[in-house]
Amino acid sequence: MNTISMTVNGKTVSAEAEGRTLLSGFLREGLGLTGTHVGCDTSQCGACVVHVDGKPVKSCSVLAMDVAGSEIRTIEGMANSDGSLNAIQQAFQDHHGLQCGFCTPGMVMAAAALLAENPRPTEAEIRDYLEGNICRCTGYQNIVKAVMAASGQDVSEMSAIAAQ
């Protein structure tokens, strides 16, 4: 066992990790931050996406010790400082971008990374960027709509059910 430190949602944290400890396990079991979900555990589904030094990664496929010293942001660090939902989270609620919610933390983290790189993405760019995030409930349409809305674009012409 080694004690490793990293910055998680702006706070420096230290906890024990073994060589085999995944970043997802370090966050969930080590720090109790269970907002990061583990769906497939094989880097396919994107439920576990967090930001490492500003970039989205699948935390189930990164070793905690390999990112010691990095800045990590998880879904727990996304709300506004007064505790209200941020623009992306609020748009997911307003546009029914979630049903069971299992994929949602990864979707929000991926969407936040997209909007940081590309503040006004097209619908095609959103679909392309979210390719690694799988949702078994929504059919994606309302997720894409929520990301469009969160980027300040007019979604009134986007039907809730039409496939593009």
Partner 1 sequence: MYAFDFVKPATLSDAVAAMEQEGAQALAGGQTLLPTMKQRLNAPDILISLNGIAELRGVRREEDALVIGAATTHTEVARDAAADYPGLAALAGQIGDPSVRNRGTLGGSVANNDPSACYPAAVLGSGATIATSKREIAADDFFQGMFATALDDDELITAIRFPIPHKAAYAKFHQPASRFALTGAFVANFGDGVRVAITGASEEGVFRWTEAEAALSDNFDAAALDGLTLPAKGMIGDLHGTPEYRAHLVAVMTRRAVAAAR
Ligand X SMILES: Cc1cc2nc3c(=O)[nH]c(=O)nc-3n(C[C@H](O)[C@H](O)[C@H](O)COP(=O)(O)OP(=O)(O)OC[C@H]3O[C@@H](n4cnc5c(N)ncnc54)[C@H](O)[C@@H]3O)c2cc1C
Q: What does the binding site for partner 1 look like in residue numbers (CB under 8 A)?
A: 18-20, 22, 41-43, 46, 49, 52, 55-58, 61-63, 65-66, 110, 113-114, 129, 131-133
Please, what is the minimum distance in Å from the beta carbon of residue 36 to partner 1?
A: 13
- Taken in order 161, 150, 72, 13, the sign of the CA dihedral is negative
Integer angstrom CA distances of residue 64 from 5, 6, 52, 75, 100 = 10, 9, 11, 17, 28
State in angstroms the smallest separation of the CB of 126 from ligand X: 18
> Which residues from 102-121 bind ligand FES, rule CB under 6 A?
102-104
Cα dihedral 89, 95, 96, 101, rounded to 10, equals -20
Cβ–Cβ under 8 Å, residues 88 and 147: yes
Residues from 20 through 49 that contact ligand X (CB under 6 A): 43-44
When the beta carbons of 61 and 153 are compared against ligand X, the nearer one is 61
52 near ligand X, judged by CB under 6 A: no
63 interface partner picked from ligand FES, partner 1, ligand X, none, CB below 5 to 8 A per type: partner 1
* Residues in CB range of 74: below 8 A, 6 or more apart: 8, 9, 27, 33, 35, 36, 50, 51, 105, 109
Choose from partner 1, ligand FES, ligand X, none: what does 18 bind? Cβ within 5-8 Å by kind.
partner 1
CA distance 9 to 19: 23
For the bound state, the minimum distance from the C-beta of residue 95 to ligand X, rounded and expressed in Å, comes to 27
CA–CA separation, 63 vs 13, rounded Å?
Answer: 16
Q: How far is the CB of 112 from partner 1 (least distance, A)?
A: 12
Positions that interact with ligand FES (CB under 6 A): 38-41, 43-48, 58, 60, 98-104, 135-138
